[in-house]
């Protein structure tokens, strides 16, 4: 939350108008311009005095190149916590987002759609994490013999994740043997937490003493690789190039560092993981994120759920001068609609 500032109504109106204008054109706002935009019946001298007070409080700043002022990180925080009026997204916009979530998409497909929706609508960078993935559960196992001792393993993980894996066997296996191996693996693994069931099966393979023990051990190794990938943390980003349109982020060194964060993902995953306890939309402005590379950026985020459990966070990253009143409802509604789509998968 922001600090407590003793601002009268005129000061609040001027700060709000300054932020609105700076969001629009990224130019310092002068007292004369503010007088016209605010509609207040006060002199320019009075407005200058109020702006001086706001500057002393650390809510606005004066760039060296202009007599106008720009909002500071503290100014944005006070604006968001005390002055912001969030726009209603509207039925049409909600339907546009909802229509992008196809009930027949896979989990990963829905998450990708959310990232794309966020970047396309906001013209910022969309980010979606799956930070608390549920343990991989095997739904179906099937073998298909190929040539040269190769076998195609077809796995269905969780609700709908289909994975094909080619393994190299120690010898040629007949269709009967492959069916026997598939039946044994299915008996132990289907509908169960893979890691727990795998350990039990490995312990009992010696007692089974079947001719297909070797192929089952090879398959289990391949399945472990697949299931570990399914259960690992994920981060999807979309629209990174949108940030090139903002002058304050155009410095080549800033852009390089920022794009490295998107590529390496671990810092972003850690930051989004901190948002999983939020009850709704959470906003980090500049240094509030704890990462110097994001000191000129804001993150607007919200968690999403499966079966009442928070499994990840989505949001957008852009410059600090984004239109928060427009961005917040987009993030909020997208998180709710993604949750709904994930819970109603067919």
| 181 in the same domain as 227 | yes
pLDDT in tens, 26-62: 999 998 889 888 888 888 889 999 999 999 999 999 9
Q: Taking residues 217-223, what's their average pLDDT?
A: 85
Which of 159 and 154 is assigned the larger pLDDT?
154
The pLDDT value recorded for residue 229 is 61
In 29-149, at which residue ranges do the beta strands (DSSP E only) sit?
Answer: 60-61, 70-71, 125-130, 138-145
| 111 in the same domain as 201 | no
**What's the CATH code of the domain at 34?**
1.10.10.10
Q: Rounded CA gap, 115 and 125, in Å?
A: 8
- 2 domain-assigned: no
Q: Rounded CA gap, 173 and 145, in Å?
A: 8
Number of domains in the chain: 3
- 267 domain-assigned: yes
pLDDT of 231 > 80? The answer is no
Give the model's confidence band at 13: pLDDT under 50 very low, under 70 low, under 90 confident, else very high.
very high
pLDDT in tens, 275-295: 888 888 999 999 999 999 999
The pLDDT value recorded for residue 76 is 97
Four-CA torsion 121, 124, 130, 131, nearest 10 degrees: -140
Mean residue pLDDT across the chain = 87
Which of 128 and 148 is assigned the larger pLDDT?
128
Cα Rg of the chain, angstroms: 27
The pLDDT value recorded for residue 328 is 97
Q: Taking residues 237-257, what's their average pLDDT?
A: 90
The pLDDT value recorded for residue 342 is 87
The pLDDT value recorded for residue 278 is 83
pLDDT of 4 > 90? The answer is no
The pLDDT value recorded for residue 321 is 95
Domain boundary among 45, 61, 83: 83
The pLDDT value recorded for residue 212 is 82
Q: Taking residues 121-134, what's their average pLDDT?
A: 82
Q: Is the pTM of this model over 0.95?
A: no
CA of 76: how far to CAs of 280, 312, 326, 342, in Å?
19, 26, 15, 34
| 310 in the same domain as 185 | no
Which residues, listed in sequence order, are joined to residue 193 by a DSSP beta bridge? 137
Range(s) of the domain holding residue 242 = 91-133+233-343
- 337 domain-assigned: yes
| 184 in the same domain as 127 | no
Q: What is the DSSP letter of 43?
A: -
Q: Taking residues 252-266, what's their average pLDDT?
A: 88
| 256 in the same domain as 156 | no
- 3 domain-assigned: no
The pLDDT value recorded for residue 134 is 58
Query: How many Cα atoms within 13 Å fall on the side-chain side of residue 89?
Result: 19
Helix (H) or strand (E) holding 163: strand 161-168
**What's the CATH code of the domain at 172?**
3.30.390
| 254 in the same domain as 325 | yes
| 242 in the same domain as 96 | yes
The pLDDT value recorded for residue 133 is 53
| 122 in the same domain as 238 | yes
| 281 in the same domain as 263 | yes
Cβ contact 54:75 at 8 Å: yes
- 123 domain-assigned: yes
The pLDDT value recorded for residue 332 is 96
| 194 in the same domain as 281 | no
Give the model's confidence band at 233: pLDDT under 50 very low, under 70 low, under 90 confident, else very high.
low
């Amino acid at each position: 939350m922001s600090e407590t500032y003793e601002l009268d109504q005129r000061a609040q109106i001027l700060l709000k108008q300054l932020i609105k204008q700076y969001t629009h054109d990224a130019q310092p706002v002068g007292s004369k311009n503010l007088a016209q935009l605010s509609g207040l019946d006060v002199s320019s001298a009075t407005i200058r005095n109020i702006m001086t007070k706001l500057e002393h409080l650390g809510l606005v700043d004066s760039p060296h190149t202009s007599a106008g002022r720009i909002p500071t990180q503290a100014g944005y925080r006070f604006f968001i916590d005390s002055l912001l009026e969030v726009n209603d997204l509207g039925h049409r916009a909600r339907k546009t987002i909802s229509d992008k979530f196809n009930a027949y998409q896979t989990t990963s497909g829905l998450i990708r759609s959310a990232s794309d929706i966020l970047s396309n609508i906001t013209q910022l960078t969309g980010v979606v994490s799956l930070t608390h993935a549920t343990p991989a559960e095997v739904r179906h196992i099937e073998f298909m013999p190929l040539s040269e001792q190769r076998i195609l393993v077809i796995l269905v993980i969780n609700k709908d994740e289909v994975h094909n894996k080619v393994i190299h066997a120690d010898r040629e296996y007949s269709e009967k043997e492959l069916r026997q191996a598939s039946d044994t693996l299915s008996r132990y693994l289907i509908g169960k937490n893979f890691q727990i069931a795998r350990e039990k099966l490995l312990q009992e393979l010696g007692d089974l003493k079947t001719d297909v023990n070797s192929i089952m051990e090879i398959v289990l190794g391949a399945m472990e690789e697949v299931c570990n990938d399914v259960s690992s943390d994920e981060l999807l980003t979309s629209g990174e190039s949108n940030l090139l349109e903002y002058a304050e982020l155009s410095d080549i060194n800033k852009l390089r560092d920022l794009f490295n964060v998107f590529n390496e993902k671990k810092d972003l995953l850690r930051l989004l993981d901190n948002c999983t306890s939020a009850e709704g939309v959470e906003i980090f402005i500049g240094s509030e994120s704890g990462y110097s590379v994001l000191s000129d950026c804001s993150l607007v985020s919200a968690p999403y759920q499966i079966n009442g459990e928070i499994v990840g966070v989505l949001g957008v990253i852009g410059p600090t001068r984004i239109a928060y009143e427009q961005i917040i409802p987009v993030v909020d509604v997208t998180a709710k609609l993604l949750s709904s789509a994930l819970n109603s998968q067919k």
